[in-house]
Chains A and B, each alone.
Chain A
């Protein structure tokens, strides 16, 4: 099988999923690139995560307390184990865009219900997703729409809907924010049974007609007695929305863009790609699957290898999937959930409604150390199936020179292409112990050490 096929498939699976083992890459490459894209776009063809299996062994994560911040364990388990990788990646995408956090909501399970909603609707129609988001209890509380009344308008949701969730700054006026917010008055949540002796209960969406402002509104040049869904229709039809969604997709799946607040003044690095995605979005009636199909099959995507710095979640989930044997929700999974937080991304707790700053901003001296230490600890587990798979493939190549060992590890961990001086550093280090002979007692230990060196490379931080 041509190595370029494997490299391209590895690129696709890093971006549309969380990486893949060599066995999986070879299987997918044999099926073909476009066939794999179609498989990813049709998640119902394979099994999703088994939520009940998780709760069978870890019942304490059902509507868990928030104070300890470990409530993301179920979602982490989903990401590590699902076969529906693009579906789960889209959940993460929408969580980036519609950033909602338990730090204010104080109920993990309400944020988690939103995550589940993204799983159900995230590859569907964007307009329907926005309507569901506007009715999502966690979002309503997060952006104060429960305090948005006909007699006292609260503009938080209305503003962020326009600024961060659809069109972006520069495409509306303060009057539009006000009118938009008026249209969402009465969109609220039912009072929740307080958490006391029997644990936590749910919020539900409620439309209170008596609290809805049903007077005439003028929004983006349209005038009428608008409700929230009318606003969403107008927003979706605005050209800025298609470009905004397209740029988010490009930033998440293709290559790092500047941070979202600068989009109004900094043009995209590939305007043609944005236009193509935006036009597909409009032509399909805001359906996500056609846009993703165009994106993954485009040359601009295929040529964007290692043009993105992995998010902490991608580092953690990708490494766990590569190492393997995390199917069972073992004790300590809550602690595992904290790992991406130590690297700067606590799932279900973004720093603000703007979400996380991405790209180079993921990296600082502290987060880089956490990334390397976590990955190095994981790849040293030579009893794990993923690492055993790498060792077995290297064994098939017979005894190895230092160069062969380094090149073999770089190949099986990616394939990763690294700067010549970085490769030489690794070769020099490995060569201190000479050639690797499988009969030596420390042979597997030396493989683990070489893998640890690979994950410490700059190149491993890129997707």
Chain B
């Protein structure tokens, strides 16, 4: 089912971008995204420990932030550039976890191991970093997702401190909210979040298996989700996106799906992945090995290849009415469109 009609909405599978790659056109465990202007997307690749015999701060490959042009149509995608290198020296990152751009197009990339935020200019040149390890206000322990609002206020999901903190661009601490627990406004290892119209923030309260809606000052508004694998249940939600209609998209990471909720928190539908066609960058890979071509023809059910595997990030692109899903373990991005002009007159075909 690539088109879903539900409660007055139409969701349609759109397209696939990416393939596994340690640099250039592709991804390596993409775990966070930032939609920039002009159809550009910044993708945080966590990378993987891979190199035996190397020191712990030199043994990962694939960790980077990739910059891509996505465009509006199939096959528009292009790799533009990448920055960030694995390591613990200035400008390097051990565990890249989130990226956001300020109004001057400088990039802020979180390192959830070194507990700092690195700043790079538009060309990817390292400028500075801020952040220190600890649990005092303004300190960080496991900073992961980061967002910057139109006033250049920086929001950081301070995961292992179980809170969200706000900073100025230079790292000056402004305020914060949340503490460890499962009560209203409390968190257990918060991960992705999104800033929504009206001064709200939606937080993936990961180990509480719920999404919380709060004001950006931290006042509790609502919550939805409970632990499980059924409809509307969540298993370690990783991220949230909200579209202009108020529909909420939750990266249900541990359940290998994205769940869609209405503005009132009512469950609408799920996306489980529909990547039946190979991506532009993947096609050459599939065409070079006669042995692999032969083996693929033997496979009885290819549908597992279409499915999402631990999607860690969702971004709603209002300019194109589409949801971008980081299909983390499959090293790709699946896109679903929210179709506004859908019609099928003959309902009795």
Q: CA of A56 to CA of B237 in the docked complex: distance in angstroms?
A: 11
Which chain A residues border B191 with CB–CB below 8 Å?
56
Most B CB atoms within 10 A — which of A63, A191, A194, A333? A194
What's the minimum C-beta distance from A216 to chain B, rounded to whole angstroms?
A: 31
Inter-chain CA distance A335–B279, complex, in Å, is 34
- Residues of chain B contacted by A69 (CB below 8 angstroms): 52
Judged by a CB distance under 8 angstroms, whether B56 is at the interface is yes
Asked if B57 is at the interface (CB within 8 A of a chain A CB), the reply is: yes
Contacts of A192 in B (CB 8 A): 295, 299
- Is A228 part of the binding interface, using a Cβ–Cβ cutoff of 8 Å? no
Alpha-carbon distance A66/B46, docked complex (angstroms): 19
Answer yes or no: A59 CB below 8 A from chain B CBs: yes
The main secondary structure of chain A at its interface with chain B is: loop
Of A141-149, A198-206, A286-294, the one touching chain B: A198-206
Query: A55-B310, A202-B304 given as contacts; is B329 within 8 A of A331 (CB)?
Result: no
Q: How far apart sit A69 and B54, CA to CA, in the bound complex (Å)? A: 13
The secondary-structure label for the interface of chain B is loop
Task: Provide the bound-state CA to CA distance between A196 and B284, in Å.
Answer: 10
| A300 CB, min distance to chain B CBs, angstroms | 41
Interface centre among B50, B54, B57 (most CB of A within 10 A): B50
Inter-chain pairs besides A70-B50, A196-B292, 17 sampled, C-beta below 8 Å? A56-B191, A57-B95, A57-B112, A60-B49, A68-B52, A193-B299, A194-B295, A197-B282, A198-B282, A199-B20, A201-B304, A330-B113, A331-B49, A331-B95, A332-B59, A334-B52, A335-B56
**Cα distance A223–B292 in the bound complex, in angstroms:** 43
Residues 9-50 (chain A) with a chain B CB within 8 angstroms: none
Interface assignment of B107: CB less than 8 Å from any CB of chain A: no
Q: Is B296 an interface residue, CB under 8 A from the partner?
A: yes
Q: For chain A, give the interface size range.
A: 20 to 34
20 pairs of residues in contact across A and B, judged by CB atoms under 8 Å: A52-B235, A58-B49, A59-B31, A59-B310, A60-B49, A60-B62, A62-B309, A69-B52, A70-B50, A73-B49, A191-B299, A193-B299, A196-B282, A197-B285, A198-B282, A199-B20, A201-B304, A331-B57, A331-B113, A332-B49
Residue from A58, A65, A197, A334 having most chain B Cβ neighbours under 10 A: A197
Chain B residues within CB distance 8 Å of chain A: 19-20, 26, 28-29, 31, 46-52, 54, 56-57, 59-60, 62, 94-95, 112-113, 189, 191, 206, 235-236, 254, 278-279, 281-282, 285-286, 289, 291-292, 295-296, 298-300, 302, 304-305, 309-310, 312, 328-332
Cβ B47 vs Cβ A70 within 8 A: no
Q: Which one of A65, A68, A201, A202 has the greatest number of beta carbons of chain B within 10 Å?
A: A68
User: Which residues of A have CB within 8 Å of B56?
Assistant: 331-332, 335
**Of listed A62, A64, A65, A331, residue having the most chain B CB within 10 A:** A331
A60 is contacted by which of B48, B189, B278 (Cβ under 8 Å)?
Answer: B48
Which residues of chain A have C-beta atoms less than 8 A from B49's C-beta?
Answer: 58, 60-61, 70, 73, 331-335
User: Are B50 and A331 neighbours in the complex by a CB distance under 8 Å?
Assistant: no
Quick check: A68 and B299 within 8 Å, CB to CB? no
Contacts of A248 in B (CB 8 A): none
The one of A60, A63, A333 in contact with B47, judged by C-beta atoms closer than 8 angstroms, is A60
